[in-house]
Amino acid sequence: MPKTKTTFFCQNCGAQHAQWVGQCPNCKQWNTVVEEVIQKEEKRNWKTPSNTQKVVSKPRRIQEIELNTEERIITRNNELDVVLGGGLVKGSITLLGGEPGIGKSTLLLQVALQIPQKVLYVSGEESQSQIKMRAERLQNEDSNCLILTETNTQQIFRNVEEVQPDVLVIDSIQTLYTNNIEASPGSISQIKETSAELIKFAKETNTPVLLIGHINKDGNIAGPKILEHMVDVVLQFEGDRNHTYRILRSQKNRFGSTAELGIYEMLSDGLREVKNPSEILISEKDTDLSGTAIASTLEGVRPLMIEIQALVSTAVYGTPQRSTTGYNLKRLHMILAVLEKRAGFKLGAKDVFLNVTGGIYIDDPAIDLAVVAAILSSNQDIAINPDVCFAAEVGLAGEIRPVSKIDQRIVEAEKLGYKTFVTSKYNKITSKNHSIKLILVGKIEDAFATLFA
Among residues 288, 301, 293, the alpha carbon closest in space to that of 369 is found at: 293
Determine, yes or no, domain membership for 178: yes
Residue 12 has pLDDT above 80, yes or no: no
Tell me, rounded to whole angstroms, the distance of Cα 441 from its chain centroid: 34
Q: Please indicate, yes or no, whether residues 106 and 253 belong to a single structural domain of this protein.
A: yes
**Is 104 labeled as ligand-binding?**
yes
Determine, yes or no, domain membership for 344: yes
Which of the four pLDDT bands, split at 50, 70 and 90, describes residue 63? confident
**Is 103 labeled as ligand-binding?**
yes
Domain that holds residue 380: 280-452
The number of residues making up the chain comes to 453
Q: Give residue 54's region: left, alpha or beta (phi > 0; psi -120 to 50).
A: beta
CA 35 to CA 352: how far, in whole Å?
A: 49
CA 106 to CA 128: how far, in whole Å?
A: 14
Q: Please indicate, yes or no, whether residues 353 and 421 belong to a single structural domain of this protein.
A: yes
Residue 153: how many other CB atoms lie within 10 Å: 24
**Is 101 labeled as ligand-binding?**
yes
Q: Please indicate, yes or no, whether residues 22 and 136 belong to a single structural domain of this protein.
A: no
pLDDT of residue 315: 84
pLDDT of residue 2: 56
Q: Please indicate, yes or no, whether residues 230 and 377 belong to a single structural domain of this protein.
A: no
CATH number at residue 144: 3.40.50.300
For 108-208, where are the E strands, in sequence order? Answer: 119-123, 145-149, 167-171
Q: Round the CA-based radius of gyration of the chain to a whole number and report it.
A: 26
Q: Please indicate, yes or no, whether residues 289 and 263 belong to a single structural domain of this protein.
A: no
Which of the four pLDDT bands, split at 50, 70 and 90, describes residue 40? very low
CA 232 to CA 198: how far, in whole Å?
A: 12
Residue 148 has pLDDT above 50, yes or no: yes
Give per-residue pLDDT as tens, 388-398. 999 999 999 99
Q: Please indicate, yes or no, whether residues 117 and 230 belong to a single structural domain of this protein.
A: yes
Q: Which residues contact 83 (CB under 8 A, 6 or more apart)?
A: 235, 248, 249, 250, 260, 261, 262
Report the chain's mean pLDDT, rounded to a whole number: 86
CA 83 to CA 416: how far, in whole Å?
A: 23
Q: Alpha helix locations (H) across 206-310?
A: 226-230, 278-281
Give per-residue pLDDT as tens, 251-296. 899 988 887 888 888 888 889 888 777 766 776 666 678 999 999 9
**Is 100 labeled as ligand-binding?**
yes
- The number of folded domains in the chain is 3
**Is 265 labeled as ligand-binding?**
no
Among residues 242, 107, 218, 89, the alpha carbon closest in space to that of 172 is found at: 107
Determine, yes or no, domain membership for 50: no
In this structure, are residues 46 and 200 in contact, taking their beta carbons and an 8 Å threshold?
Answer: yes
Cα dist from 397 to 295, 346, 393, 444, whole Å: 21, 17, 12, 10
Q: Which of 235, 251, 275 is the last residue of a domain?
A: 275
- pTM attached to this predicted model: 0.73
With the C-alpha atoms ordered 357, 77, 131, 166, is the resulting torsion angle positive or negative?
A: negative
Q: Please indicate, yes or no, whether residues 195 and 260 belong to a single structural domain of this protein.
A: yes
Please calculate the CA angle 117-115-236 and round it to the nearest 5 degrees: 130
In this structure, are residues 104 and 174 in contact, taking their beta carbons and an 8 Å threshold?
Answer: no
Q: Which residues contact 151 (CB under 8 A, 6 or more apart)?
A: 124, 175, 176, 177, 185
Which of the four pLDDT bands, split at 50, 70 and 90, describes residue 232? very high
Q: Please indicate, yes or no, whether residues 227 and 361 belong to a single structural domain of this protein.
A: no
Give per-residue pLDDT as tens, 354-408. 999 877 888 899 999 999 999 999 999 999 988 999 999 999 999 999 999 898 8
